[in-house]
Amino acid sequence: MRKVAIIGAGMTKFGEEWGRGFRDLIIEAGKASLEDAKLQGEEIEALFVGTMASGSLIGQEHTGALIADFMGLTPIPSTRVEAACASGGVALRQGFMAVASGMHDIVAVGGVEKMTDVDGGNVALALGGAGDQEWELFTGATFPGIYAMMARRHMLEYGTTEEQLASVAVKNHKNASMNKYAQFQNEITIDTVLKSKQVASPLKVFDCSPVTDGAAAVILCPLDKAQKYCEKPVEIIASAQASDTLALHGRRSLSSIYATQVAAKNAYAMAKLQPKDIQVAEVHDCFTIAEIMAIEDLGFFASGKGGKATEEGKTALNSDISINTSGGLKGCGHPVGATGVKQAVEIAWQLRGSAGARQAKDAQIGLTHNVGGSGATAVVHIYKKAF
């Protein structure tokens, strides 16, 4: 299996992009990644794009071919990848395997979602399909409700507090305030979170990631060819994916995500590393409780200790481990198909030392963690500075 590197990375600003459509977003991100890799496009041999709900949100399916068309990349193979909110992460894994196997040399990986063209009810309906439609969505279980149940169980088992949940949002908004691509570039306080409108107890508005438009893209190639295109390539040293039951009621635990634990274990084994070796990580914080569970499931903190660790500042920039330097899904935004690729873009920038004010000091090893639904899919990638 060949070693694989990221040689180009780019993204759009995340937010409510009323003046731009689905095509505009992915073209902007794709162009930025090509320019970063100093490529024109004709070198690209295959394209993998994560998109969750384009049919429901903008009435457009067959988006793989659409993107190849408008990026000027026909007739290369272009594949749409769907794994709910983990669509981008799984697309990255597909691109990684295509290069690692020797099937292709230069591969583009993108993620995109245009979510603000329909009203909130239709967005909720589209996102609800990431869970079990028959057993959850049909009976009225929304994703805030599902994650609220997970939060309540975590609080019951470990004594996690609402203030600890709020500290996740405060930290991620602080990081987002230093990110020009972020949807929310304002700092908030614990009090702001606690006094915001309740969505599903104990989760409030500021515990929840927003509805977002945006796109991100990376260019991959074999490591031994990377310096031809890029002065500071970033090697992907591990890629792992795992699955669990679609519905929450079938899980081993409500206070952790087993698929994350399995994917993390396999990624660490592939990279020959341990959690303590990771210096910067982008984890899937669709809700504040999701980040707390993630940093426990990934092995950064013991079960039940993630809330306290966050409250004590151990996940802040340049602390024990820098978590969600981009602002995460909570601060940077969550265009669901793009999130997993945006995470890779952020880690690539961090390991290159080009993240600006939010730069993690001396970052050598990074990790991304992308979740589909309430945990039925989890993808973990590990990265290092290549040279």
Angstrom distances, CA of residue 114 to CA of 32, 79, 145: 18, 18, 24
- Chain position carrying tokens 């040293």: 237
d(CA 202, CA 366): 31
The closest alpha carbon to 264, from 173, 95, 378, belongs to 378
Cis before 77? omega within 30: no
Non-local (6+) Cβ contacts of 329 within 8 A are: 209, 284, 285, 286, 339
Helix (H) or strand (E) holding 72: none
Residues 83, 53 contacting (CB under 8 angstroms): no
Backbone angles phi, psi at 381, to 5 degrees: -120, 145
**What tokens does 366 get?**
């990074």
Q: In whole angstroms, what is the distance from residue 270 CA to residue 328 CA?
A: 25
Roughly how many angstroms between the first and final C-alpha of the chain, as a whole number?
19
**From residue 305, how far is each of 34, 273, 285, 310 by CA, in Å?**
41, 22, 16, 9
Q: Which amino acid is at 366?
A: G
Active site residues: 85, 334
What's the rounded Cα separation, in Å, for the pair 52 and 88? 9
Q: How far apart are CA 127 and CA 324, in angstroms?
A: 23
Tell the burial category of 253 from Cβ atoms under 10 Å away from its Cβ (0-12, 13-18, 19+).
middle
Query: Phi and psi of 87, rounded to 5°?
Result: -55, -45
